Structure 1
């Protein structure tokens, strides 16, 4: 009887120690995977529901989707590991290409906040397009890739956005001269077109394109239905 009373507190202490030492549940928002096709998967690559978003950085509706969906996707779906989100780039013009090269600059773990920074500041930098001269537009579309992308980065003040993210000029220029990345982005855009993507944002779940779904209010119920 005495032995039983002595053992019980010891067992309780052991259980408490194991509980305190247990690892917290994995927050899948911290897991970022870069694919060979230059897209990025946020969350559990083996999630039950695999959402793909096709976005363009010069598309105002894509920015609206970013603002409307960001918190819900991260807090309710990605964090649990039940839903992953793959961001695929649709390159509509030289500005789109330049921004996509910058958001993918450096380590893959930097992509989510790079992506958010450019999407959320879009109303500011996109004004350069409306105010641009023919001479500026010529610089954006002629010459070698580094010449074009650096001209765009200078005119749209992308260097300042990247500096706010901790990138120096040398690193940014190296990314803007990455011809292999530019080819992967162009190929990914072409593949999206062949899949049937004719506007942005567009969405697919488990590889099936969602026709008639153009925003978060229509997308969220379809995610819920598959969980």
Structure 2
């Protein structure tokens, strides 16, 4: 009898385990908001973190390298925190990079975003060495022409190729006026909210004062959990 009870208990435990299934990995869940920003993680997360970033901001690149792994593994993966990225546009190069991170399906965004942030120190060098003729091309002509000039000078075509994008697909995104308008509206909305520098952060819609690095942000996330 004792043996039978033990067998039934083991069977019941196994059934519960199968029913529960493996823990969800929220790092693969990406949603697109009505304003065009991307959200990574559990939509029902207790803490909804918003990052306001610029691709030509060195502090944003530093935050990405310093905090991304910890944030994703310790907070996003178990579903405790979701992360929304909103764009601030500091210059024409910033806009071009943002249009490329937003190029393609929503599921490609965070890998594109990480690539631009983590390699910023390499690709940004032409900002310091470009000729006056190059700089003129970055701000002259229609949207597509300006963005193509920037993409060529900063080697964005080669970067996007490593992500599986051909030149035709890249050029199509670079000429997307509707996307450029969405990104500009997103940046203006952030400015209207009170964002004055990057990176800046909000938790559950409340902008955080004096917060631009992980060591200051982390305790505020922990407090909100």
What is the aligned partner in structure 2 of residue 167 from structure 1? 165
Q: Which runs of 5+ in 2 are unaligned?
A: none
Secondary structure in structure 1 of the residue aligned to 2:145: helix
Quick one: structure 1 residues 195 and 140, their matched pair in 2 at CA, closer, same or farther if it must change by over 3 Å? same
2:140 aligned with 1:142 = yes
2:65 aligned with 1:70 = no
With the length of structure 1 as denominator, give the TM-score of the two structures. 0.94
2:129 aligns with one of 128, 131, 145: 131
CA displacement at 1:21 relative to structure 2: 6.5
Structure 2 distance, partners of 1:21, 1:190, is: 47
CA displacement at 1:175 relative to structure 2: 0.8
Structure 2 distance, partners of 1:62, 1:145, is: 25
Quick one: structure 1 residues 15 and 47, their matched pair in 2 at CA, closer, same or farther if it must change by over 3 Å? closer
Structure 1 distance, partners of 2:159, 2:64, is: 18
Structure 2 distance, partners of 1:72, 1:29, is: 12
Structure 2 distance, partners of 1:160, 1:20, is: 45
1:156 aligns with one of 154, 163, 171: 154
Query: Residue by residue, what CA displacement relative to the aligned partner does 1:82-118 show, whole Å, maximum 9, x if unpaired?
Result: 1111110001111000000100110111111110111
Query: Residue by residue, what CA displacement relative to the aligned partner does 1:174-211 show, whole Å, maximum 9, x if unpaired?
Result: 11111100000000101111111111001111111111
Structure 1 distance, partners of 2:169, 2:213, is: 35
1:189 aligns with one of 174, 181, 187: 187
CA displacement at 1:49 relative to structure 2: 0.7
**Which aligned pairs between 1:35-54 and structure 2 lie closer than 5 A?**
35-54=33-52
Secondary structure in structure 1 of the residue aligned to 2:184: helix
Secondary structure in structure 2 of the residue aligned to 1:54: strand
Flag the structure with larger Rg: 1
- More displaced 10-residue stretch of structure 1: 37-46 or 216-225: 37-46
What is the aligned partner in structure 1 of residue 117 from structure 2? 119
What is the aligned partner in structure 2 of residue 61 from structure 1? 59
Q: Which runs of 5+ in 1 are unaligned?
A: none
Structure 2 distance, partners of 1:89, 1:149, is: 17
With the length of structure 2 as denominator, give the TM-score of the two structures. 0.94
2:91 aligned with 1:93 = yes
CA displacement at 1:16 relative to structure 2: 2.8
Aligned length: 225
Secondary structure in structure 1 of the residue aligned to 2:86: strand
Quick one: structure 1 residues 156 and 24, their matched pair in 2 at CA, closer, same or farther if it must change by over 3 Å? same
Q: CA RMSD in A?
A: 1.6
Structure 2 distance, partners of 1:38, 1:141, is: 25
CA displacement at 1:10 relative to structure 2: 5.7
